[in-house]
Amino acid sequence: ARTAPIRFIHLKENIVNGHLESAKNMADIACTLPRSNPPPDNELEPRIQTIPESTPPLLQDKVSADIPNDSMTPEQQSSVRARSAYPAAHRGRDRLNDLKERNRKSLLEAKSTGAFWKQVKRLSDPAPVPVSVSAQALKEVFEARLNPPKTLPESFDSAEHRMNKLLASLIPDSTLDSSPEGFFSSEWTEDDAAWLKDHIRKHSLDSATGEDAILYAEIMDIPNDVLVLLCNECVKKQDGPSV
């Protein structure tokens, strides 16, 4: 008889260890064998080693396991373990968190295997999800958040705000380039246009288009001298081509 305690551990994840995988395969084969009753003690071979009549008591159960003692099938289990509280960084996301929780509960409380996979297919369907927030609603929210407020909030220092506004109005639209190299006043050259095309070819040729829907490949077809005229004109007028 084995005097050391034995503990069976349920492997929940996929087995990546070769020894564990071999042991599992052997256990699977053993589970398929027909059950047989052990022979009576009087028919067993005599023991080679004698077992002492008194053995020290074990500090834990001789056989234990981490498998829960629950005979119900997964379909019969209805209690879903609650998720831990969301961190503070997730504040303001109650609607999204509630949707995730309902999706999780629908999977864990599926009535059958078929219902489970039907729900999985519904959640993983690549079909576009209906937009829950309209563009008009987003426009109103972003305008209120990004544009200067029509009424200065009470938390603002009104005197300092007036001073900053006055100082900002004194800044000219264009200033003289004081850098020794003339970085901010040098006009574009055809060498600059060639360098730009080489950079686009290496890094940005397949990038998405902007609001003007012009591909980078189309820019590559524009002659360098034309690009130079366009860029210099944009700098002079402090503006860009309109869409």
DSSP labels, the chain: ---S-EEE----SPP--HHHHHHHHHHHHHHHSPP-PPPPGGGSPPPSSPPPS--PPPSS-SEEESS------TTT----PPPPPPPGGGTT-HHHHHHHHHHHHHHHT-SSHHHHHHHHHHHH--SPPPPSS-HHHHHHHHHHHHSPPSS--TTS-HHHHHHHHHHHHTS-SS-----TT-TTTPPP-HHHHHHHHHHIIIIITTPPP-TT---HHHHHTS-HHHHHHHHHHHHHHT-----
What was the pLDDT predicted at 99? 83
Mean pLDDT by 10 residues, the chain (243 residues): 72 70 84 76 64 65 75 54 62 76 88 88 80 88 89 90 93 87 89 94 84 86 94 89 70
Residue where the block lists tokens 């029509």: 150
